[in-house]
């Protein structure tokens, strides 16, 4: 962007605080953001159509003269306007209208309307069309390009948004932004200039194949994605180079606490755990900060590796902060670490957003006083938290945190000349090309082996019509002393509806399984209560835990060996795999029953098929990518580790190789361009955290 467009959107005339707030909800805070708020779809308003030629279901622009206007009651009050153009007649139907509108739409007035053609008994109609009164002097031209329809938010009208975007586009035309991509590349890839690309996606010329546009395959879109991916890649590489030059506290490689810990474990580490812990300890023994990603499938045993890393710090007399994405997970880590570290006499401090005032004060004092291990949630990076001798930050289940949160925590821990080492753990196996862009600032260690004795989770898919049978199976499992999860349907639109549905399921199951202890957790159960229930489940006091997908991540109850997932067809592969990872954690054989609503789509059928066939997270992930690449972008957000305006790491994966090649050239030959690219696309965040 030209730098002048990196100014607040409120500098556009007509944008007051209320409108600005709406825009902010769409991620639009600067004028340039409007350009990157891309259309959802397009409408063709380039031609005025004869009313007589319209067909059912099409969207069209028409012009005509009002014949009659009447307010009538047909079950409810409505205004009917009859419009004719000499070739035919159509009715405009309004359920909401003002007295002013009613007066303006009188017989003889000429209108231009845009709407979708519906058929009614008396002929054709538009319901609530967009319209404009035509006056002889303004009798305007039609649009000379396709009309963009933008994602919007309640209270912000499409027309308003379109108008503002139009202003931004006008500025763009007036001051062409400089070309930052190498000439050779734009030529080889047939990329238009940035200005032309943006104009094209907002205002495609008449006759453009909008289907190709919606698939984001047009060179204009590819250019935008490419440039954005490149900017992010560069910013992460920069970050990594900068970090490499910072100072960190070198930690102990093989101290006594670590040795005692490993000796005290009831199991021995797997080869993969030993190797990854070795890689981490190597990094930690250096005096520049580690930035390492620990990848391992659900149940592969990442936590014990994290504990080992923390002990490298403790052995050297320094502090470690461990951050989990949810209260539930943080508390689980607390229990696990306490259990392990009590045995070697190491204090564990705890900070959550839910501590009472006095507890919180005590926790803050313990942290400031140098407690060797600090566990918590986001609460850890509030201002009031003062670490003492913090040398290592561990973040669990990274995909729940954004890159910026991660960086913010690192900054926060920076004490004087030293920056803490950082270990990020994730169960989301990310294919290599994606990892290179999403995690270009991190080195990677992979736990590619599960603890011995784990049996694959036997997985079946059954139609919901066989629910009664499944309930019997649950009863039998409980009778055998096993514990069971019952996962309720995901309702993305509303966690209230989701909670209600879960309550209903729970009450039915309580009735059907009256001899067993059934409990329910969902997003709206108060945290204290939820923790009590989870603890009771862990202690074996609950037979059947009915839950929403809140239990998706990290929950570890080895005795649970049966999971039922309802409406599995609504969930993405990665999510189902995560959920299923809650069972199969002990040495008993486990099973997972995926219930689905009959009438599966082809895509859903394939997804369930993948899970039945394989238990391997990497295989699931690559299949997931393949299927989503085929069009079903379910849950893409999960891979959106970095917030992108245009690009999508899954959809645009094919660009990544070229991005890397270009990045190398730019870094060595054109450092000034690197800076500009990062500023154009990554902006403030990079300046704040990446020190570019
Ligand atoms: P995840 O990688 O999903 O975070 P966890 O760290 O929660 O996995 O480990 C899953 C379970 O496996 C835990 O109960 C843990 O105690 C156990 N575990 C970890 N490592 C081993 C091992 N080497 N041998 C046996 N059990 C192990
Ligand atoms: Mg875990």
pLDDT in tens, 299-327: 889 999 999 999 999 999 999 999 988 78
Structure confidence by residue, pLDDT tens digits, 33-91: 899 898 888 888 888 999 999 999 888 999 999 999 999 998 899 999 999 999 999 99
Describe the strand order of the beta sheet including 458-463 as a list of residue ranges: 458-463, 591-596, 560-565, 483-487, 544-547, 518-521
Q: Among 397-406, 456-465, 521-530, 618-627, which range has the highest average pLDDT?
A: 456-465
Give the ligand at the shortest distance from the Cα of 578.
Answer: 1
Nearest atom within ligand 1 for CA of residue 304? 6
Q: Average of pLDDT values for 648-656?
A: 81
What are residue 421's DSSP bridge partners? Answer: 392
312 with 253: CB under 8 angstroms?
yes
**Cα 248 to middle of ligand 1, angstroms:** 30
Protein residue with least CA distance to atom 9, ligand 1: 301
Protein residue with least CA distance to atom 25, ligand 1: 451
pLDDT: is 484 or 27 the higher one?
484
Cα 251 to Cα 245, 343, 362, 522, distances in angstroms: 17, 22, 28, 41
Ligand 1 first shell, C-beta below 6 A: 267, 269-270, 273, 296, 298-304, 427, 451, 556, 558, 585
pLDDT of residue 430: 65
Rounded Cα gap, residues 595 and 579, in angstroms? 14
599 with 617: CB under 8 angstroms?
no
**Cα 306 to middle of ligand 2, angstroms:** 10
Dig out the tokens for 133 from the structure: 């009164």
Structure confidence by residue, pLDDT tens digits, 266-297: 999 999 999 999 999 999 999 999 989 898 88
pLDDT of residue 550: 73
Rounded Cα gap, residues 42 and 211, in angstroms? 10
User: Is the entire prediction scored with pTM above 0.95?
Assistant: no
pLDDT of residue 421: 93
At residue 263 the predicted structure's pLDDT band, cuts being 50, 70 and 90, is very high
DSSP labels for 439-506? TTT-EEEEE--PPTTPPPPEEEEEEGGGHHHHHHHHHHHHHTT-EEEEEPPP-TT-HHHHHHHHHHHH
Structure confidence by residue, pLDDT tens digits, 339-365: 999 989 999 999 988 889 999 999 999
Give the ligand at the shortest distance from the Cα of 296.
Answer: 1
Q: Average of pLDDT values for 123-133?
A: 91
pLDDT of residue 692: 30
pLDDT of residue 639: 38
Nearest atom within ligand 1 for CA of residue 585? 11
End-to-end CA distance of the chain: 17
Walk me through the domains of the chain, giving residue ranges and CATH numbers: 3-42+150-215 (no CATH), 47-142 (2.40.50.140), 256-447 (3.40.50.300), 458-614 (3.40.50.300)
**Cα 304 to middle of ligand 1, angstroms:** 7
């Amino acid at each position: 962007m030209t730098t002048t467009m990196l100014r607040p959107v409120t500098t556009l005339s007509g944008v007051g605080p209320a409108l600005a707030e709406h825009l902010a909800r769409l991620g639009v805070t600067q004028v340039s953001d409007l350009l990157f708020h891309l259309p959802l779809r397009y409408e063709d308003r380039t031609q005025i159509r004869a009313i007589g030629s319209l067909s059912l279901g099409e969207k069209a622009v028409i012009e005509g003269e009002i014949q009659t206007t009447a307010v009538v009651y047909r079950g409810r009050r409505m205004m009917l306007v009859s419009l004719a153009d000499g070739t035919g007649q159509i009715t405009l139907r309004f359920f909401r209208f003002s007295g002013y509108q009613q007066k303006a739409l009188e017989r003889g007035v000429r209108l231009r309307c845009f709407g979708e053609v519906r058929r009614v008994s008396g002929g054709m109609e538009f319901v609530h069309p967009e319209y404009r009164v035509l006056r002889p002097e303004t009798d305007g031209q039609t649009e000379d390009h396709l009309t963009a329809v933008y994602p919007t938010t309640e209270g912000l009208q499409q027309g308003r948004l379109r108008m503002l975007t139009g202003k931004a586009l006008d500025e763009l035309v007036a001051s062409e932004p400089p070309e930052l991509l190498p000439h050779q590349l734009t030529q080889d890839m047939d990329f238009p200039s940035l200005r032309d690309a943006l104009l094209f996606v907002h205002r495609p010329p008449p006759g453009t194949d909008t289907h190709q546009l919606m698939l984001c395959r047009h060179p204009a879109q590819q250019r935008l994605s490419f440039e954005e991916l490149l900017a992010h890649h560069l910013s992460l590489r920069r970050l990594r180079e900068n970090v490499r030059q910072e100072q960190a506290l070198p930690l102990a490689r093989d101290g006594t606490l670590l040795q005692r810990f490993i000796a005290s474990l009831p199991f021995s580490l797997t080869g993969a755990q030993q190797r990854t812990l070795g890689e981490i300890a190597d990094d930690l023994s250096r005096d520049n900060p580690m930035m390492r990603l620990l990848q391992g499938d659900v149940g592969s045993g990442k936590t014990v590796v994290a504990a080992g890393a923390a002990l490298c710090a403790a052995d050297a007399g320094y502090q470690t902060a461990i951050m989990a994405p949810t209260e539930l997970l943080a508390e689980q880590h607390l229990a696990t670490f306490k259990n392990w570290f009590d045995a070697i006499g190491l204090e564990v401090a705890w900070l959550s957003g839910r501590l009472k005032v006095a507890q919180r004060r005590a926790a803050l004092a313990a942290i400031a006083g140098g407690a060797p291990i600090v566990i918590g949630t986001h609460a850890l990076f509030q201002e009031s938290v003062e670490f003492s001798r913090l040398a290592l930050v561990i973040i669990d289940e990274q995909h729940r945190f954004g890159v910026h949160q991660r960086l913010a925590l690192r900054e926060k821990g920076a004490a004087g000349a030293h920056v803490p080492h950082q270990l990020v753990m994730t169960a989301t196996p990310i294919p290599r090309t994606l990892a290179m862009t999403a995690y270009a600032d991190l080195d990677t260690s992979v736990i590619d082996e599960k603890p011995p004795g784990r049996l694959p989770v036997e997985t079946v898919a059954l139609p919901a019509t066989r629910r009664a049978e499944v309930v019997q199976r649950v009863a039998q499992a409980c009778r055998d002393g096993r514990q069971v999860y019952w996962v309720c349907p995901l309702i993305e639109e509303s966690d209230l509806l989701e909670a209600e549905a879960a309550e209903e399921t729970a009450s039915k199951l309580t009735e059907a399984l009256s001899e067993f202890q059934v409990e329910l957790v969902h997003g709206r159960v108060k945290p204290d209560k939820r923790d009590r229930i989870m603890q009771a489940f862990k202690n074996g006091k609950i037979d059947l835990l009915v839950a929403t997908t809140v239990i998706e991540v990290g929950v570890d109850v080895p005795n649970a060996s049966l999971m039922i997932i309802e409406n599995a067809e609504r969930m993405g592969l990665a999510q189902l795999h995560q959920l299923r990872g809650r069972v199969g954690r002990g040495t008993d054989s486990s099973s997972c029953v995926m219930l689905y609503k009959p009438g599966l789509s082809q895509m859903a059928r394939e997804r369930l098929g993948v899970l039945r066939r394989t238990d391997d997270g990497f295989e699931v992930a690559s299949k997931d990518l393949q299927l989503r690449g085929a069009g079903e972008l379910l849950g893409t957000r999960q891979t959106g580790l970095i917030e992108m305006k245009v690009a999508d790491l899954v959809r645009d994966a094919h660009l990544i190789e070229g991005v890397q090649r270009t990045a190398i050239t730019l870094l060595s030959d054109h450092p000034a361009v690197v800076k500009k690219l990062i500023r154009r696309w990554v902006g403030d965040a990079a300046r704040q955290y990446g020190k570019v």
